[in-house]
Structure 1
Amino acid sequence: MFSVIIPGRPCLTDIVAIDSQPNGQATKFAFNFPLTPYFTDIVVFFLPGTVLPQDTAAAIYIQYPDSEFRFIGALANENPSAVIKVRPPRRTEAQDEDQMLDDGSAAGSNNSAVVTLGISIEPVQVVAPQVTALEGETSSLGGTSTDLVRQTPQQRGISTKVLAQRIIGNAFNFLASFASGNSSNPGQDVVPLKAFQDWWTKFERRVNMDPTFLEREDPNASG
C-alpha cells in the first residue's frame, strides 16, 4: 500500500503488517531502516491503486532508537504523498563507544541503530487534530508537506459569535441560489427543504476535511 524514500538511499518496499482485522485487512504497518547515514527528509507515498476507506487517513509516526513513537504527518486519498522534514538524533562518539563496549564488537556501532516508521490507518477525525497541532509546532521551521487539511496561519482565537455569523453567512450564500419567488407573501422567497439538507451535507464534509476554514480571515463564504 505504501512506500518510502529517503534521499540518497534505495526505495523502501519491505513493509511489515503489524495487525490484521477480522476481514483480513491490516491497518498498521511499519518500515525499519538504519539511522545512518544522517537524513533530514522522508518521502512517503501511496503505491498505485491504493485507496483508503472513506473518512480515514494514514497517520505517520517515527521512532528513533531509545525513544517513543512521534506523529510526523499524514496521507489521505486527496493527498497521497508527502515530503516530511525530520530531525533524527545525532549520536556522540561517547555513545558509540558505550554501545561498542556493551556489544563487545564494532558491530555495535551507530550503524546498527534502527529507525521505525509506522503508518496507521485511522479515522480522519482522529488524525486531523494531530496534523493541526503538528503544523503549529513546525511553523517556525518553515512547515512540512504533511497537509491532511490545508495549512493556515495560526489564529489567537475566534469568538463563538463570529463563528456563528460565518456559518449563517455560508448557509445564506448557498441557499440564496435556490430561492424562488413562489410564495403567498409578496417579497418573500421560498427555499426547498432539500436545499438546506444539501448545504448541511456539503458543510459537514468541508468541516471534516478542513476543520479550520471558518477561522480564517477570508473564508470561502460560498462553501
Structure 2
Amino acid sequence: MFGVIISGRPVLTTFDTISPTQAQLTIPTFPPFGHIVVFMLPGATLPEGQSAAVYIRIPPSYEFKLWGELSNTKQSAIFKIRNTSSGNGGNNLGAVDMDAMIDEDAQAKQMGGSVEPVTIGISLEPTVQLEANITAQKAAATASVTGLELVRHTPGAVASQVSTKVLAQRIIANAFNFLASFSSAGSGGNEVVPLKSFQEWWKKFERKVEMDPTFLERGDV
C-alpha cells in the first residue's frame, strides 16, 4: 500500500507487517541521503476516517517519532534529513514536514556495518486523533525554537519559565512518541497500548527528569 523513494536508490515497497494496522521499513543510512519521499501506491485507499501516521526511528535512539501523515487527499509527503556532525540529534519542525538528523559520524560507521538502519513506521490511526497529535507536536516544537516561551539553552544559562500548557504538551508528546510503536489494533478498530509499555515509559521519563530536570523547559522531548 505504501512506498518510499530515496534519491539514487530503487523504490522501496516491501514493508514488514507488524499488525493489521502497522508496518515498518528499514533503510540503510549509508550512503548518506538528504530527503525521504513516502507515498501511497497507485490505487491504494485508506478506510473512511483513517489516516496513515508516518513515524521514524533514527539510531542510536530506540524511539519512533511522529513525522506527519498520509491520507486519501494527501497521498505523498517529502521529509528532509539534515546531516549534521554537531551531535544534537533530534526532530525539529522544518520547511518540508518534519526534519530529522542523522549524525555524519554514524553514517561513516555504517560502512563497517556497526550502525543500525533508519526505520520508517506506518500506522493507521483515526484522522481526528492523528491531526490533533501532529498539531500538538508542532506547537511544542515551534515553542522550543521561536524563543517566545524560553531562551535558547546555552551552557551555564538558566532557561526562562515555561508555561504549564507548554510543559504539558511536551510531556504528552514524549509519551506519545514512545508509546506509538507499541500500539496494536483492538476491538472495533481502536488502537490499544499495553499497560506495561506505559510503565516502561514512566520509568524512563523519571530517570530522564532525575538526570536532567530542565530538559522539558528546553523542549528536548
Could you tell me the TM-score, scaled by structure 1's length? Answer: 0.49
Pick the structure with more strand per residue: 2
Give the structure with higher Rg (CA): 1
